[in-house]
Amino acid sequence: MWPAHCTRSLMPLRSGDKLYVVVGDHDRTTSTDAASQQIEVTSYVDHPAYNPNTMDNDVSLLKLASRITMSNTISPVCLPWKYVNDNFQGTTITASGWGTTMQGGSFSNQLREVDLPVLTTEECAAYLPGQITQNMICTYFPGKDTCQGDSGGSIDLERGGRYYAIGSLIAFNSLVWFIQRRNYPGVYAKTTKYLDWIQTTASGETFCKA
């Protein structure tokens, strides 16, 4: 799962080009981490209600050419079925990515993570009036955030030793939001709103629902 706005920016690929998913890599300065895997993307499905103007339903599913091999360094994050009615208000989640560490900076060479508190929909809407829907979830803490290049990265909730993907970073078309990002929440597509669509679209696949 990643954002539809990323799919739209890359697809269709130019003749001869290929798109790959890399898992298990933590350092971009090395050719590959010993346990990393690179798997070709064969197709994708954007959410049918994706709106590139409002960024609502900014979700897409990628189909890989082969299954990911699980190991002691590569394991699945679970879909949050048991938390489908949870608003996660006040919960601390973990965001991760390879994005810039400052506005206009270079992409990080190492995979980074940050813990952030979840806002209520009302709190988030106060920062971004008219832009936040029930399909979105927001995080905010002064001086901490995801940044440019982190789009598609998940926010993960740890409970009982398992990690649940509760959101995927989206980006607004608002120029003010990009310029003054440090003063605004991070906004994510709320995974619990798309569980039925994910299961239907990827029917026949195995899911971690624990």
Give yes or no: 66 in active site.
Answer: no
Q: For 77, which DSSP code?
A: P
Q: Which residue has the tokens 């197709």?
A: 43
Of 114, 78, 76, the closest CA to residue 94 belongs to: 114
Domain annotation covers residue 112: yes
Give residue 33's pLDDT: 63
**Residue 5 known to be catalytic:** yes
What is the rounded CA–CA span in Å between residue 122 and residue 55? 18
Catalytic member of 5, 46, 150, 156:
5
Average pLDDT, the chain: 87
**pLDDT at residue 81 in the model:** 93
Nearest partner of 183 among 142, 126, 133, 150, judged by Cα = 142
97 in the same domain as 42:
no
Q: Are residues 184 and 87 in the same domain?
A: yes
- pLDDT at position 173: 44
Q: How far apart are CA 38 and CA 112, in angstroms?
A: 20
Of 88-102, 149-163, 176-190, the range with the lowest mean pLDDT is 176-190
Stretch 95-99: mean pLDDT? 90
Q: pTM for this one?
A: 0.88
Q: Both 109 and 158 in a single domain?
A: yes
Task: Report the number of distinct structural domains present in the chain.
Answer: 2
Looking at the structure, do residues 65 and 89 belong to the same domain, yes or no?
Answer: no
Q: In this structure, is residue 210 part of a structural domain?
A: no
Residues 173 and 137 in one domain: yes
Q: Residues 7-66: pLDDT tens digits?
A: 888 888 888 899 999 999 888 887 656 678 999 999 999 999 999 989 999 999 999 999
Contact yes or no for 181/103 (Cβ under 8 A): yes
> What residue spans of the chain are helical by DSSP H?
4-10, 121-127, 175-179, 195-201
Q: Check pLDDT > 70 for residue 187.
A: yes
Instruction: From 146, 60, 58, 139, select the one nearest 97 (Cα to Cα).
Output: 146
58 catalytically annotated = yes
Domain of 69, CATH number, reads 2.40.10.10
Instruction: Determine which one of 46, 56, 58, 150 is catalytic.
Output: 58
Do 133 and 111 lie in a common domain?
yes
